């Protein structure tokens, strides 16, 4: 195996956390700045608006168009802002990817110019009433538009019902009714607050000079900042009181069944790698039980798979099926889960899954955003790991550990997206 990518940690004088991964294989430099916020009802909506309002204009770039012009001048640098949710953490992302000038007919220091733009966006925003009003309208429309994609919609609805009353049920962009009540000043105040007190991460991945990048960020992002707020208070629930089964009807051609489980296992737990193996044998790959039994044997679905939320400790199974096959599909899925609980899987299934997971970790190391996502999950769960650490941990998993995962797993909610009955 080749030498695997590692991140070097630096802290700036004003407590920004900087992780640099120096690496020759990428033709671009990726810089991602992430503000970590606790996900809660009071702040979720105003937090979510912040990145979008900042991207509307700053002192040196007074409009979105001014930003876009400068980005094109930097050979089509890509700046995107987004909001993520991992466990009960809301992450405000500012991601900038710039081609390394080594591969361009120019001597311009593109990375430095990119950092200057990012700094202006973050620290010198115009934050006008007009920008606020427009972005509020857009974000409300964006929240409503989840329904346009029935796959994401069904997953989101299952999470929402399953975790009703927990912060996790809040959508990453907040709630429409809260947005409607917000004022520009409230959001601006929230912006000042998170910039000053929240944990802020910087990731840099590319063929860079680490020392210079550190100094550049330390010198130019030298605003008043001190971490006083904790960001990860995710509540992990282990025990489930009764299975919720619910159905919703829309104008659709395909039914979508989603089963939500509590694993009680997060990234930092000893059972995390056994859980990855469990999920792999059950439903992450084409050789997995769900694909083989729901799709290949019974022709019930095109997709049938399972996935993990490893900060909140959830597992989700989903399949797109004919409306009439709901009971049949659910029963097959439950039968496969029972097999998992009893350790009824072969040495081959175990080995194939192990190899497939290693392949997927090693491939992740070849993708700058994948690499970042992997390391970020470790950071926010207080257990930083390189790709190599993950592969080593995975190699220690035994069959008994996977059975223990099966014993902990509890079905919480079954959601079914059904068609509307025509009168």
Cα–Cα separations (whole angstroms), residue 2 to 5, 363, 387? 9, 12, 12
175 or 287, CB closer to another protein?
287
Contacts of 295 (CB under 8 A, 6+ apart): 301, 302, 303, 304
| 299 sits near another protein (criterion: CB under 8 A) | yes
The nearest distance, CB 157 to another protein, in angstroms, is 13
SS3 of residue 417 by DSSP: strand
The piece of 36-44, 212-220, 362-370, 394-402 that touches another protein (CB under 8 A) is 362-370
19 or 285, CB closer to another protein?
285
| 247 sits near another protein (criterion: CB under 8 A) | no
| 93 sits near another protein (criterion: CB under 8 A) | no
| 49 sits near another protein (criterion: CB under 8 A) | no
The nearest distance, CB 237 to another protein, in angstroms, is 31
| 362 sits near another protein (criterion: CB under 8 A) | yes
| 286 sits near another protein (criterion: CB under 8 A) | yes
Interface residue with another protein among 16, 37, 77, 195 (CB under 8 A) is 77
Of the candidates 145, 416, 422, 146, the one whose C-alpha atom is nearest the C-alpha of residue 254 is 416
Contact 290, 319 (CB under 8 A): yes
357 or 402, CB closer to another protein?
357
| 390 sits near another protein (criterion: CB under 8 A) | no
175 or 196, CB closer to another protein?
175
Total count of residues recorded for the chain: 423
Of the candidates 122, 215, 135, the one whose C-alpha atom is nearest the C-alpha of residue 174 is 135
Contact 99, 71 (CB under 8 A): no
| 248 sits near another protein (criterion: CB under 8 A) | no
Contacts of 309 (CB under 8 A, 6+ apart): 86, 87, 315, 316
294 or 337, CB closer to another protein?
294
Taking the C-alpha atoms of residue 31 and residue 220, their distance in angstroms, rounded to an integer, is 15
245 or 322, CB closer to another protein?
322
Taking the C-alpha atoms of residue 47 and residue 174, their distance in angstroms, rounded to an integer, is 8
| 395 sits near another protein (criterion: CB under 8 A) | no
| 1 sits near another protein (criterion: CB under 8 A) | yes
46 or 368, CB closer to another protein?
368
89 or 354, CB closer to another protein?
354
The piece of 74-82, 271-279, 307-315, 404-412 that touches another protein (CB under 8 A) is 74-82
Q: What is the largest CA-CA distance in the chain?
A: 69
Residue listed under structure tokens 């929230």: 190
Backbone φ/ψ region at 155: left (φ over 0), alpha (ψ -120 to 50), beta: alpha
| 322 sits near another protein (criterion: CB under 8 A) | yes
**Separation of first and last alpha carbons in the chain:** 63
The piece of 169-177, 183-191, 225-233, 317-325 that touches another protein (CB under 8 A) is 317-325
| 31 sits near another protein (criterion: CB under 8 A) | no
| 68 sits near another protein (criterion: CB under 8 A) | yes
State the DSSP string of 177-210.
HHHHH--HHHHHHHHHHHHHHS-EEEEEEES--H
The nearest distance, CB 238 to another protein, in angstroms, is 32
The nearest distance, CB 87 to another protein, in angstroms, is 27
| 25 sits near another protein (criterion: CB under 8 A) | yes
| 392 sits near another protein (criterion: CB under 8 A) | no
The nearest distance, CB 95 to another protein, in angstroms, is 13
| 252 sits near another protein (criterion: CB under 8 A) | yes
The nearest distance, CB 420 to another protein, in angstroms, is 9
Contacts of 391 (CB under 8 A, 6+ apart): 358, 361, 362
Interface residue with another protein among 41, 42, 73, 247 (CB under 8 A) is 73
Of the candidates 327, 330, 336, the one whose C-alpha atom is nearest the C-alpha of residue 318 is 330
| 226 sits near another protein (criterion: CB under 8 A) | no
State the DSSP string of 284-306.
ISTTSHHIIIIIIIT--EEEEEE
Site residues for another protein, window 120-179 (CB under 8 A)? 134, 137-138, 141-142, 144-151
The piece of 114-122, 182-190, 263-271, 363-371 that touches another protein (CB under 8 A) is 363-371
CA 131 to chain centre: 27
Contact 26, 368 (CB under 8 A): yes
Taking the C-alpha atoms of residue 253 and residue 27, their distance in angstroms, rounded to an integer, is 43
| 182 sits near another protein (criterion: CB under 8 A) | no
């Amino acid at each position: 195996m080749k030498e695997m990518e590692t991140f070097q940690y630096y802290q700036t004088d004003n407590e920004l956390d900087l992780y640099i991964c120096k690496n020759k294989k990428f033709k671009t430099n990726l810089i991602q700045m992430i503000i970590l916020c606790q996900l809660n009802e009071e702040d979720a909506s105003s937090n979510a608006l912040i990145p979008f309002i900042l991207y509307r204009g700053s002192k040196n770039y007074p409009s979105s168009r001014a930003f876009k012009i400068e980005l094109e001048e930097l050979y089509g640098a890509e700046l995107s802002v987004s909001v993520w949710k991992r466990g009960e953490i809301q992450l405000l992302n500012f991601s900038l990817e710039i081609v390394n000038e080594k591969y361009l007919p120019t001597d311009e220091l593109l990375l430095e110019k990119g950092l200057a733009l990012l700094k202006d966006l973050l620290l010198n925003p115009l934050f006008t009433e007009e920008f606020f009003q427009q972005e509020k309208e857009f974000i409300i429309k964006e929240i409503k538009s989840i329904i346009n994609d029935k796959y994401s919609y069904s997953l989101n609805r299952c999470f929402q019902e399953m975790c009703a009353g927990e912060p996790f049920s809040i959508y990453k962009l907040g709630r429409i009714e809260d947005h409607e009540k917000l004022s520009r000043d409230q959001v601006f105040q929230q912006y000042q607050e998170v910039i000053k007190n929240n944990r802020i991460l910087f990731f840099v991945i590319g063929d860079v000079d680490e020392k210079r990048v550190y100094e550049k960020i330390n010198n130019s992002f030298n605003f008043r900042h001190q971490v006083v707020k904790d960001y990860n208070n995710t509540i992990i629930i282990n025990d489930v009181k009764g299975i919720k089964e619910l159905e919703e009807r829309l104008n659709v051609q395909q039914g979508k069944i989603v089963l939500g489980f509590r694993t009680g296992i997060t990234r930092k737990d000893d059972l995390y790698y056994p859980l990855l193996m469990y999920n792999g044998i059950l439903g992450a790959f084409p050789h997995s039980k769900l694909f083989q039994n729901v799709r290949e044997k019974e022709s019930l679905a095109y997709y049938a798979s399972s996935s993990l939320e490893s900060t909140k400790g959830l597992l989700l199974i989903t399949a797109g099926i004919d409306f009439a096959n709901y009971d049949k599909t659910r029963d097959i899925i439950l039968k496969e889960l029972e097999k998992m609980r009893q350790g009824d899987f072969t040495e081959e299934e175990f080995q194939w899954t192990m190899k497939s997971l290693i392949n997927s970790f090693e491939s992740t190391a070849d993708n700058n955003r994948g690499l970042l996502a992997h390391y970020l999950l470790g950071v926010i769960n207080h257990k930083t790991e390189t790709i190599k650490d993950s592969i080593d941990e995975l190699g220690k998993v035994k069959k008994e550990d996977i059975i223990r995962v099966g014993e902990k797993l509890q079905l919480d909610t079954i959601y079914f997206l059904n068609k509307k009955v025509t009168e």
